[in-house]
Structure formats: structure tokens, C-alpha cells
């Protein structure tokens, strides 16, 4: 098995015959998602969150795929992948489990009740992107902003660290904080921040989609991990429902323990909104393409380019709460503040409560195999 170096990992060359379940996957489910990425790649659609530049080899493959179009059998797709890509198993340098070196979580788009104005039942705002927010490019390291991904531009052009979640909750943005809508409470808004999108249902029957429009650039911290580390919840008891229940039980006003926990994650997300014209449409991802449930993944955008195919192998409770094989072709189309490292992926599970329950149960190891173009493979 040939090995190649990669930042923080080894890439171990495989054959497609080494991929468990590859011959059985319904590749016709994944192919449309791949074509969406090919279209975005060649149209040079700006990313919502800048990723690694596309290679010329990647673009050449995209041209071939779009020329062929959708009318392919699963065998045709399999042959296309085999002719154009080489699979590499990703093994992080710090991995202690060579059989399952990758780590997977999952995410979804919440669908929640909301109001366009503040009311007694809907009091927590979701904000539009402020005019003074400047998003820094990956690797851009300016004086006084080390380790931050965004900055605040003052009227004189000077840049400063953007306010933290606690500071924003305390009103530090002033009139620059323009609410797009209001949800029931702070933990509901917080989870929308974590997921990066939402579908809101207003009392008059209208629905609005929220799409990620930027963040304050502060470091992301998992409040679930904090609760486990503090001994408030055990790893076995941790779930999305238990997490929400703990925050609500411990108070969400400023100064309450529940709100203080939320503030330990300094990252804060802003959104854009649009009316829902097609209820079947999934949210727009960082690569500026629409996600596909169970076929799109979020990756570390500083290491991998959007549009790359990945083969994911793991045993996950993703169907009925029971462990099942997850052996699927997935397309890199999104990213996230917590998705760091070469063998780290967040699997997109769709919209609504059922998808949320499934996604909240995923914290599992497995194998993550990247398909690199022949002309680009190390």
C-alpha cells in the first residue's frame, strides 16, 4: 500500500476494490450532488466560505462529468469514478485506531416556529450580517487579530476583534444588530447557529429560509463537550434533547447558568433570509450549492477543496436508532468551525426534527477515503 504525506496525515493509496460496499452503493443518488459541485466549480461561483482552490485536474473532471450529464447507470458512474480518481485512505498522524482513523458527526437544518417580530412567545433574535463585519481569508493573520477569522471595521478603517457571543448578547452591536426573525429562546437560536441554517415557520403560515451569512470569527467551542467535562452530563446521556433540556432547566437570562454555558462558545453566526418557494429544496452550503441529504459532507476547507468525492465507511445509528452500515459516496460541499482535520467530516442528514434526532446521535469513528484526480494525486 503506497503512502504519501499530507498536512497532519498520511494518505494510503487504495484500489476501488478495497472500498467496503462500493459495488452496492446507489451512485445515482450521489451523482446529481456531484454535478452541482461541477457546475459551481466551472462557473466560478463565489464560495460563501472560501475553500482550497480547485485544481486544474478537478476542473477537467468536472467538464467531463457535465458533458455526460445525468443520464448514467450506476455502473457508468462507477466506471467514471474509477477512470478519473484514485482513492486514498486518510490516516491522521495522531490516530491510535488504524482501522477507524476518521471521526464523523452529523448536522441538519432545523425547522422551527418563529415570528418576524418579537412577542412573548418568540423573544430571541436571529441577526442579519452587520455592516461592520469583515471576514478574513484563511491564513490571513493581521496585527491584533491572531487566531481570529473575522474583524470589526471602525469608521476610520481600523480593524479590531469582533465582539464575542456574550458581548453581542449584552447589546454591544447596538443598531448594527438587525433582527431577521425571533425564535422561542436562546438555546433554539444557539442550535440554529451551530447548524448554520434553518427553516422558520411564521404564525401566518409563511416559511422563511435562513442561510449562513458570516460569523464573528471567534473560536468555536462545543457546549456538549463542556457539559461532559464539567460532569453535568455523561457521554452516554448526551443528546441534542438532553442538551437543550439542561440549558432550559438552568435558565437563559443573562447571568443564568444556562445562558453562561452558551457564552462559553464565543462564536456567533449571522444569516440572510429568503422566502421558501420550494419546500423540497435543501439549504445552500459553503460551496454555494444546495446540500443533498445523506450525500453532502462538511470538511476542513483549509485542507480539502469543495467538490471532491469522499467514500465514508462507518457503522452509525442513522436509520431507526439501530446501528447500520453507512457505506456511501459523499461530496464535499460545506464546512464548519468545528470541522478541523484531514479525517473529519460532518454528514448532512436533511431538514426537520427527524433529521435532527438522527444527526444528534452521530459521534462515531470509521474510514474516510478521498478520491483525488489522477493528475493531482500525490
In a domain, 286, yes or no: no
Across residues 204-224, what is the average pLDDT?
A: 95
| Residue 5, Cβ density class (10 Å: 0-12 exposed, 13-18 middle, ≥19 buried) | exposed
In a domain, 281, yes or no: no
In a domain, 24, yes or no: yes
User: In which band, very low, low, confident or very high, does the pLDDT at 227 lie, cut at 50, 70 and 90?
Assistant: very high
Q: What percent of the chain has pLDDT over 70?
A: 97
Per-residue pLDDT at 224: 93
Closest CA to 336 of 77, 157, 149, 189: 149
CA atoms of 291 and 285, how far apart (whole Å): 6
Grid cell digits, residue 328:
456511501
Per-residue pLDDT at 2: 60
Lowest mean pLDDT, pick from 29-43, 86-100, 306-320, 329-343: 86-100
Across residues 358-370, what is the average pLDDT?
A: 93
Per-residue pLDDT at 378: 53
Per-residue pLDDT at 4: 63
Grid cell digits, residue 140:
490571513
Provide the mean pLDDT of the chain.
Answer: 93
Lowest mean pLDDT, pick from 6-15, 139-148, 361-370: 139-148
Per-residue pLDDT at 240: 86
CA atoms of 310 and 328, how far apart (whole Å): 8
How much is the pTM? 0.89
CA atoms of 259 and 248, how far apart (whole Å): 9
pLDDT tens readout for residues 88-144: 999 998 776 777 899 999 999 999 999 999 999 999 999 999 999 999 877 777 888
User: In which band, very low, low, confident or very high, does the pLDDT at 8 lie, cut at 50, 70 and 90?
Assistant: confident
User: 248 and 148 in one domain?
Assistant: yes
Across residues 31-54, what is the average pLDDT?
A: 92
User: 271 and 156 in one domain?
Assistant: yes
In a domain, 287, yes or no: no
The owner of cell 447507470 is 73
Per-residue pLDDT at 139: 73
In a domain, 284, yes or no: no
User: 134 and 17 in one domain?
Assistant: no
What residues pair up with 197 in beta bridges, in sequence order? 211
The owner of cell 485506531 is 97
In a domain, 132, yes or no: yes
Per-residue pLDDT at 17: 96
CA contacts within 13 A on the Cβ side of 65:
31
Look up the CATH number of the domain holding residue 269. Answer: 2.40.240.50
User: 333 and 223 in one domain?
Assistant: no
Across residues 282-303, what is the average pLDDT?
A: 95
User: 113 and 67 in one domain?
Assistant: no
Phi-psi region of 157 (alpha: psi -120 to 50; beta: other; left: phi over 0): left
Predicted confidence (pLDDT) at residue 376 exceeds the cutoff of 70: no
- Total domains present in the chain: 2
User: In which band, very low, low, confident or very high, does the pLDDT at 377 lie, cut at 50, 70 and 90?
Assistant: low
Per-residue pLDDT at 320: 74
Look up the CATH number of the domain holding residue 76. Answer: 2.40.40.10
User: 125 and 72 in one domain?
Assistant: no
Across residues 48-52, what is the average pLDDT?
A: 87
Domain boundary among 245, 275, 305: 275
Backbone CA torsion sign across 160, 164, 168, 171 = negative
User: 303 and 267 in one domain?
Assistant: no
CA atoms of 85 and 61, how far apart (whole Å): 9
Give the domain range for residue 271. Answer: 109-275
Cβ(293)–Cβ(349) under 8 Å? yes
Amino acid at each position: 500500500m503506497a503512502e504519501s504525506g499530507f498536512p497532519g496525515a498520511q494518505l494510503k493509496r487504495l484500489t476501488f476494490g478495497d472500498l467496503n460496499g462500493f459495488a452496492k452503493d446507489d451512485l445515482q443518488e450521489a451523482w446529481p450532488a456531484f454535478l452541482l459541485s461541477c457546475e459551481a466549480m466551472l462557473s466560478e461561483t463565489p464560495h460563501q466560505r472560501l475553500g482550497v482552490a480547485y485544481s486544474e485536474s478537478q476542473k477537467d473532471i468536472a467538464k467531463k462529468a457535465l458533458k455526460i450529464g445525468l443520464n448514467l447507470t450506476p455502473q457508468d458512474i462507477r466506471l467514471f469514478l474509477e477512470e478519473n480518481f484514485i482513492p486514498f485512505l486518510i490516516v491522521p498522524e495522531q490516530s491510535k485506531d488504524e482501522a477507524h482513523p476518521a471521526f464523523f458527526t452529523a448536522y441538519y437544518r432545523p425547522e422551527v416556529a418563529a415570528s418576524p417580530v418579537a412577542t412573548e412567545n418568540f423573544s430571541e433574535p436571529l441577526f442579519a450580517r452587520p455592516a461592520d463585519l469583515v471576514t478574513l481569508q484563511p491564513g490571513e493573520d493581521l496585527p491584533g487579530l491572531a487566531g481570529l477569522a473575522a474583524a470589526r471595521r471602525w469608521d476610520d478603517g481600523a480593524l479590531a476583534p469582533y465582539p464575542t457571543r456574550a458581548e453581542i448578547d449584552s447589546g454591544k452591536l447596538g443598531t448594527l444588530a438587525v433582527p431577521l426573525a425571533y425564535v422561542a429562546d436562546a438555546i433554539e437560536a444557539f442550535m440554529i447557529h451551530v447548524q448554520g441554517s434553518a427553516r422558520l415557520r411564521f404564525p401566518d403560515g409563511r416559511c422563511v429560509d435562513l442561510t449562513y451569512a458570516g460569523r464573528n470569527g471567534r473560536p468555536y467551542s462545543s457546549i456538549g463537550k463542556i457539559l461532559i467535562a464539567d460532569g453535568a452530563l455523561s457521554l452516554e446521556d448526551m443528546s441534542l434533547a438532553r442538551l437543550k433540556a439542561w440549558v432550559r432547566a438552568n435558565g437563559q437570562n443573562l447571568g443564568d447558568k444556562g445562558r453562561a454555558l452558551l457564552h462559553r462558545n464565543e462564536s456567533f453566526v449571522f444569516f440572510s433570509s429568503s422566502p421558501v418557494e420550494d419546500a423540497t429544496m435543501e439549504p445552500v452550503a459553503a460551496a454555494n450549492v444546495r446540500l443533498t441529504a445523506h450525500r453532502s459532507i462538511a470538511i476542513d476547507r483549509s485542507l480539502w477543496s469543495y467538490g471532491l468525492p469522499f467514500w465514508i465507511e462507518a457503522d452509525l445509528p442513522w436509520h431507526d436508532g439501530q446501528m447500520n452500515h453507512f457505506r456511501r459516496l459523499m461530496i464535499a460541499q460545506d464546512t464548519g468551525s468545528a470541522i478541523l482535520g484531514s479525517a473529519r467530516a460532518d454528514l448532512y442528514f436533511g431538514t426537520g426534527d427527524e433529521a435532527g434526532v438522527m444527526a444528534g446521535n452521530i459521534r462515531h469513528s470509521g474510514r474516510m477515503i478521498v478520491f483525488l484526480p489522477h493528475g493531482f494525486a500525490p
